[in-house]
Chains A and B, each alone.
Chain A
Amino acid sequence: MFKLSFPQAARVGNPSENKERFRTDSRQSGDKSRNDKGVILIANRNKSRTATKWFLFFFMRSISQRKGRVVIASLSVMLAVAVVTAMLGITFGIREKLGAELKAYGANIIVAPQKGHYLDYETLESISRLNHVEEAAGQVFGRVFINKQGVEIIGLEVSRLKDRGWRLFGNWPDKKGEILAGVNLKDALRLEPGRTLALESEGKKTDFTVSGLFEKGGPEDSALIVSLPEAWELTGAAGRLSAVLVRGKSGELESVAKSIRAAAPAASVKTLRQVAFAEESLLVKIQLLMALVTVVVLSATVISVASTMGANVLERREEIGLMKALGATRKGISSFYSAEAILIGLAGGLSGFLFGYFSAQAVSKGAFNSFIAAPSYLPLFSLAMGLAVSVTAAYFPVRGAMKYEPAVILRGE
């Protein structure tokens, strides 16, 4: 229990002076002392100095004698702040993380030339320099003949296919003369990885080795995939592209499409709604889920903060009664408890931020194997929330305690 002893107070004066000390907070009396003159000034300065000193003494004493309670109160503020901070951090980070997962989905913008025309290689280069363009790749479409039967070829940078989720039987091509064949050709030509294929185009025959077969689950499964230079050789149109596939940052698709239209005015630019649609609808659900869970968690932790702070104050009704009996004003008492609530709020908010931030990072590392970039205002938000929660939680019990008659409390009723 808190032991009430006022060594200085006992020495310095009578109850009416004490009342004055409690009423004047240091800043106000400092201003006043500058305006007054002579003896009163010195007296006031002394008074204000003692008031501040007394306040601090009281405060420090209260904190150090009740360490356990202050720690528990800070802990519950910390929990509330930590959970909300972690949830917020993840909610903000998840868009980017999911976007990265959806990368395998491939391009979300397709730039195609007008019918019968081509795109230049320079167009590809200028597109890949645009803002929010994560990836831009050129493709060449053409037709070659195998045993007088036409087969589509697609020329592209084969290394870009590796994280696309395509299923590969055999190996990725790694040198000139190696190509990939779609699984449909396997059935049609009895192809196996390692076989040699003679492709006929522009009147000449070239031999290629099929390093692997791929299955995509689309029209490409009936085509051959060759490198860009080989495609140019086979089609006889060096430096020309049939399409540019762009992966723009999710959420910025429209602005990316707009700047591509400006960079390649002759081409048609299309955003693939499939990817954006899937991404958006998923994100909305997940964020809604997080928001709902956050609200429920917040209510659970706020109850705990309120009960802890409430118990803290109620326990000290006697103390409040004694203060009042000694002549403390409501303002004096409330500023004393506010200071305590602010200290708890700051401590809880700061530790809550650290704790919440690290949990968010741990969750992100666990689920997405990478860290998240939290918004820069997150620490400020956490501190503010800690303060708000702690001060609000302390407000009602203190207000309630003020109503008691000192005599009643001190008699122990």
Chain B
Amino acid sequence: MLLNIIKKSFVNQKKAMALMVVSIAVGTALTASLITLSFEISGKVSKELRSFGANILVEPKIEGLADISGQKRYLRLEDVIRTKTIFWRHNIVGVAPFLETDAEISHNGKPLDVKLVGAWHEKELPLPGETKSFTAGIKTVSPWWRLSGKWPDSTDAIMAGSSLAARLGIKAGDAALLDGKVMKVSGTLETGGDEDNQVFMDLESMQEFKDMKGKVSRVFVSALTTPMDAFAYKDPGTMSKAEYEKWYCTGYVTSIAKQVEEVFKGSKAKPIWQVAETEGKVLDRLELLIYLLCFIVIAASAIGVSTTMIMSLLRRIEELGLMKAIGADRAKVISIFLSEGLAIGCIGGFLGYLLSIAASQYIGMKVFSAGLEQKAILFPISIGSAILIAVAGTVLPIRRALSIKPGIVLKGE
């Protein structure tokens, strides 16, 4: 009997029922995709924040004042790929080694003392023990560098910083003398920083040219990190063994720096604090922002959907009046509305879940160029919240239905 009534109401009131199901479905889809989003927002935003540039600097360890005032120490190039072997290796998203030395460049007889820098722009490194490779180089740590022309790839090609190029009057395709050797200028680069006055070469080519095989002056590392908290600021030297373990196995910028330091022979790795600090703050703020927005949006859509339910069900007060007149009791009235709410909630929730898969994939692709992972727990959440909202929408109509006097309603007064 009850089933029959519900079936009939779905068949006879197609439009009204469809409207309720659609609004529940949209509300559920919205809730589910926002939950999916907030699960992953931290990871996604911290990936976006890597556009701030490298957050760890590795330099040769300083052992005496002489190291500061001029004497040169170097890191080993072979250690670079070992950054992908540390505990937090999956968090390392970029590595760029730099070799720096003095040189003299001249063009049309104008000699100039400059810094010669060897680096990779975009280089595939084979991962030890794996078939995959890892992309290293400037592009992975400093995406804002503006290159025009081609990155030099041979022992007789250089790239000039834009200010230097302007000063010397050289452009891509010209030839210049570097330490007396004829070099082809393959392009220019602009960063807004010191690099604009430097000369760049391919790292290995420069090592050969300057006879500095296997040497690297400094390495920039870009790593996904956990924002620093009070615990992270404790000095690792004063930690107990358990604390040290906890610190070492949390992705703080300091602990990742420590692990990077361990794989580079004779190195000192430091967080680049301006980047690390800003990143942590921005990440915290944005996460909070997204959570608050999700809350508001979910609340608003829940209220909206409930209103739709109320309005649609109120239209059927007359029907209920008739039922009461021919002998339906309170329990019957309640069970009719409730089971309709349940049915609408289930169907709407299921459709909403499907819709949310599409929506969160779309939003993920559009905003972060990567889909969001759909967690299995979302299915019960979707159905549950849909039923909750739908049933909440039946409360007011039920109360109205219970209080009506069949005679008055049927008379239409």
Interface residues of A (CB under 8 A from B): 1, 3, 69, 72, 75-76, 79-80, 82-83, 86-87, 90, 94, 97-98, 101-102, 104-106, 110, 146-147, 149-151, 164-167, 183-185, 187-189, 215-218, 221-222, 268, 270-274, 276-278, 281-282, 285-286, 288-290, 292-293, 296-297, 299-301, 303-305, 307-308, 310-312, 314-315, 318, 359, 362-363, 366-368
Question: Is there contact, CB below 8 Å, between B301 and A217?
Answer: no
Question: Is there contact, CB below 8 Å, between A300 and B307?
Answer: no
Known: A151-B68, A301-B301, A314-B315. A282 touches B274 (CB 8 A): no
Question: Is there contact, CB below 8 Å, between A292 and B285?
Answer: no
Known: A147-B65, A187-B62, A303-B22. A281 touches B308 (CB 8 A): no
Question: Is there contact, CB below 8 Å, between B311 and A297?
Answer: no
- Which chain B residue lies CB-closest to A97? B285
- Chain A residues contacting B312 (CB-CB under 8 Å) are 307, 311
Known: A101-B285, A286-B286. A76 touches B307 (CB 8 A): yes
Question: Is there contact, CB below 8 Å, between B191 and A274?
Answer: yes
A187 to B270 alpha-carbon distance, docked (Å): 13
Q: Can you list 14 A-B contacts with CB-CB less than 8 angstroms, sorted by A residue number?
A: A72-B307, A150-B69, A151-B69, A185-B62, A185-B65, A188-B62, A188-B67, A282-B51, A289-B367, A293-B363, A296-B33, A303-B23, A311-B315, A315-B315
Known: A274-B142, A274-B192, A278-B51. A222 touches B62 (CB 8 A): yes
Known: A215-B270, A301-B300, A312-B311. A274 touches B193 (CB 8 A): yes
The reply to whether the CB of B293 lies closer than 8 angstroms to some CB of chain A is yes
Question: Is there contact, CB below 8 Å, between B307 and A75?
Answer: yes
- Chain A residues contacting B193 (CB-CB under 8 Å) are 270, 272, 274
A217 to B65 alpha-carbon distance, docked (Å): 18
Question: Is there contact, CB below 8 Å, between A184 and B308?
Answer: no
Question: Is there contact, CB below 8 Å, between A303 and B19?
Answer: yes
- Which chain B residue lies CB-closest to A98? B282
The reply to whether the CB of B144 lies closer than 8 angstroms to some CB of chain A is yes
A184 to B60 alpha-carbon distance, docked (Å): 10
Q: Which of B49, B52, B191, B193 has the most CB of A within 10 A?
A: B52
Question: Is there contact, CB below 8 Å, between B293 and A277?
Answer: no
- Expressed in whole angstroms, the minimum distance between the Cβ of B201 and any Cβ of chain A is 21
- Chain A residues contacting B30 (CB-CB under 8 Å) are 296-297, 300
- Chain A residues contacting B288 (CB-CB under 8 Å) are 366-367
Identify B57's interface contact among A76, A218, A278, A368, CB under 8 A. Answer: A218
Identify A300's interface contact among B49, B272, B276, B301, CB under 8 A. Answer: B301
- Chain B residues contacting A305 (CB-CB under 8 Å) are 304
- Chain B residues contacting A285 (CB-CB under 8 Å) are 48, 367-368
A150 to B277 alpha-carbon distance, docked (Å): 31
A268 to B197 alpha-carbon distance, docked (Å): 12
- Which chain B residue lies CB-closest to A87? B293
A292 to B367 alpha-carbon distance, docked (Å): 9
A282 to B49 alpha-carbon distance, docked (Å): 7
- Chain A residues contacting B311 (CB-CB under 8 Å) are 69, 72, 307-308, 311-312
- Chain B residues contacting A288 (CB-CB under 8 Å) are 366-367
Known: A183-B270, A184-B68, A278-B52. A303 touches B57 (CB 8 A): no
As a 0/1 sequence over residues 123 to 148 of chain B, the CB contacts with chain A under 8 angstroms (1 = contact) are 00000000000000000001111100
Question: Is there contact, CB below 8 Å, between A363 and B301?
Answer: no
- Chain A residues contacting B413 (CB-CB under 8 Å) are 1, 3
The reply to whether the CB of B86 lies closer than 8 angstroms to some CB of chain A is no
Identify B274's interface contact among A69, A105, A281, CB under 8 A. Answer: A105
A318 to B412 alpha-carbon distance, docked (Å): 10
- Chain B residues contacting A185 (CB-CB under 8 Å) are 62, 65, 68
- Expressed in whole angstroms, the minimum distance between the Cβ of B134 and any Cβ of chain A is 23
As a 0/1 sequence over residues 105 to 120 of chain B, the CB contacts with chain A under 8 angstroms (1 = contact) are 0000000000000000
A76 to B142 alpha-carbon distance, docked (Å): 48
- Chain B residues contacting A218 (CB-CB under 8 Å) are 57, 272
The reply to whether the CB of B35 lies closer than 8 angstroms to some CB of chain A is no
Question: Is there contact, CB below 8 Å, between B296 and A86?
Answer: yes
Question: Is there contact, CB below 8 Å, between B282 and A282?
Answer: yes
| Top 3 A-B pairs, shortest CB-CB distance | A165-B277, A217-B272, A304-B304
A286 to B57 alpha-carbon distance, docked (Å): 28
A300 to B31 alpha-carbon distance, docked (Å): 11
Question: Is there contact, CB below 8 Å, between A274 and B53?
Answer: yes
The reply to whether the CB of B94 lies closer than 8 angstroms to some CB of chain A is no
A308 to B311 alpha-carbon distance, docked (Å): 6
Number of chain B residues whose Cβ lies closer than 8 Å to a Cβ of chain A = 82
- Which chain A residue lies CB-closest to B284? A367
- Which chain A residue lies CB-closest to B293? A363
- Expressed in whole angstroms, the minimum distance between the Cβ of A405 and any Cβ of chain B is 19
A104 to B34 alpha-carbon distance, docked (Å): 31
The reply to whether the CB of B154 lies closer than 8 angstroms to some CB of chain A is no
Question: Is there contact, CB below 8 Å, between A300 and B305?
Answer: yes
- Chain B residues contacting A221 (CB-CB under 8 Å) are 270
The reply to whether the CB of B395 lies closer than 8 angstroms to some CB of chain A is no
The reply to whether the CB of B92 lies closer than 8 angstroms to some CB of chain A is no
A110 to B195 alpha-carbon distance, docked (Å): 13
Q: Which of B19, B144, B366 has the most CB of A within 10 A?
A: B144
- Which chain A residue lies CB-closest to B63? A187
- Chain A residues contacting B272 (CB-CB under 8 Å) are 216-218
Identify A101's interface contact among B53, B281, B314, CB under 8 A. Answer: B281
Question: Is there contact, CB below 8 Å, between B65 and A188?
Answer: yes
- Expressed in whole angstroms, the minimum distance between the Cβ of B195 and any Cβ of chain A is 10
Known: A188-B68, A288-B366. A307 touches B282 (CB 8 A): no
- Expressed in whole angstroms, the minimum distance between the Cβ of B73 and any Cβ of chain A is 12
The reply to whether the CB of B335 lies closer than 8 angstroms to some CB of chain A is no
- Chain B residues contacting A110 (CB-CB under 8 Å) are 192
A304 to B301 alpha-carbon distance, docked (Å): 9
Question: Is there contact, CB below 8 Å, between A164 and B305?
Answer: no
Known: A75-B303, A311-B314. A187 touches B278 (CB 8 A): no
A286 to B272 alpha-carbon distance, docked (Å): 25
Question: Is there contact, CB below 8 Å, between A101 and B192?
Answer: no
The reply to whether the CB of B171 lies closer than 8 angstroms to some CB of chain A is no
- Chain B residues contacting A79 (CB-CB under 8 Å) are 300, 303-304, 307
A163 to B292 alpha-carbon distance, docked (Å): 27
- Chain A residues contacting B275 (CB-CB under 8 Å) are 105, 217
Known: A102-B278, A285-B368, A301-B301. A363 touches B296 (CB 8 A): yes
Beyond the given A79-B304, A184-B62, A367-B285, please list 16 additional residue pairs across the A-B interface where CB-CB is below 8 A. A79-B307, A87-B293, A101-B282, A150-B69, A151-B69, A164-B274, A184-B67, A189-B65, A217-B273, A289-B290, A290-B293, A293-B293, A293-B297, A303-B308, A315-B314, A363-B292
Known: A82-B300, A363-B292, A367-B285. A281 touches B48 (CB 8 A): yes
The reply to whether the CB of B258 lies closer than 8 angstroms to some CB of chain A is no
The reply to whether the CB of B310 lies closer than 8 angstroms to some CB of chain A is yes
- Expressed in whole angstroms, the minimum distance between the Cβ of A223 and any Cβ of chain B is 9
Question: Is there contact, CB below 8 Å, between B301 and A149?
Answer: no
- Expressed in whole angstroms, the minimum distance between the Cβ of A413 and any Cβ of chain B is 14
Identify B192's interface contact among A72, A273, A292, CB under 8 A. Answer: A273
Known: A79-B300, A221-B270, A293-B297. A149 touches B305 (CB 8 A): no
Question: Is there contact, CB below 8 Å, between A367 and B65?
Answer: no
Known: A303-B26, A307-B19. A282 touches B307 (CB 8 A): no
- Chain A residues contacting B142 (CB-CB under 8 Å) are 274
- Expressed in whole angstroms, the minimum distance between the Cβ of A347 and any Cβ of chain B is 15
Question: Is there contact, CB below 8 Å, between A277 and B68?
Answer: no
